[in-house]
Amino acid sequence: MNDKLATLDQHTEHVAGSSSSLFLGDTPSIEPHGGRAAHVSSTRLPDAAFHGPIVGTLVRIDQGGYPLVDFAGNAAAQPLVARSVAALNPSDVGNEVALMFDGSDPNKPVVLGVIQAPQPMRNCVEPGEHNEDAPPLDAQIDGQRVVLTAEKEIVLRCGKASITLTRAGKILIRGAFLLSRSSGVNRIKGGSVQIN
């Protein structure tokens, strides 16, 4: 009877020891069929990497206007549809973009903007100076209405000609030669009209 109790105690200690080793964090090595260890892709980024901005690529823009992006650590087999806080154009396709992830979810990318290539500083001048060799700047604005607003004044100047709009409501037109031409009625109205 004593021998049987001793054998039962040894068996209990062996089972308890095995169980405690599992609860203490010992993970048994599990290999798939064939005896080779499973391979984990090294391109998969840890979840912590998606808490901050990363650099990806704008692959294309779909018919609905949604950008599709790809990035290192993308577990999907294809680019992901993203949202954007910046306006994107077809000319931006193929460029690098800064990405964040909604709720740190790698399946919910948000485009912060296009990474800008550095532009060399050519023909730099001090504020208030003008460089005759600088290339002209073209402004192309699409739309039905353009509004320019300033706190003090707005000045349009070309050579000796200028138009100034002041905060007080004055419109000053200056030039070496002034021509007012109209295909219809040309009216001049005011509280008083002074010529010279």
% of the chain surpassing 90 pLDDT: 35
Residue 36's pLDDT band (cuts 50, 70, 90)? very low
160-173 pLDDT, tens digit each:
999 999 999 999 99
Region of poorest pLDDT, from 8-12, 125-129, 151-155: 8-12
Q: Check residue 73 and give its pLDDT.
A: 85
Region of poorest pLDDT, from 2-11, 12-21, 157-166, 184-193: 12-21
Q: How far apart are CA 112 and CA 86, in angstroms?
A: 6
**Domain assignments of the chain as residue spans, ordered by start:** 47-114, 148-177
Q: Which two tokens stand for residue 192?
A: 């008083």
User: What is the average pLDDT score of the chain?
Assistant: 75
Q: How far apart are CA 69 and CA 88, in angstroms?
A: 12
- Evaluate whether 110 touches 86 at the Cβ level (below 8 Å): no
Q: Check residue 43 and give its pLDDT.
A: 52
42-71 pLDDT, tens digit each:
355 555 567 788 999 999 999 999 999 999
Select from 3.40.50.720, 1.10.3720.10, 3.40.605.10, 2.40.50.140 the CATH code of 47-114: 2.40.50.140
Q: In this predicted model, which residue has the larger pLDDT, 29 or 109? A: 109
Q: How far apart are CA 183 and CA 106, in angstroms?
A: 63
**By C-alpha distance, which of 117, 103, 97 is closest to 54?**
97
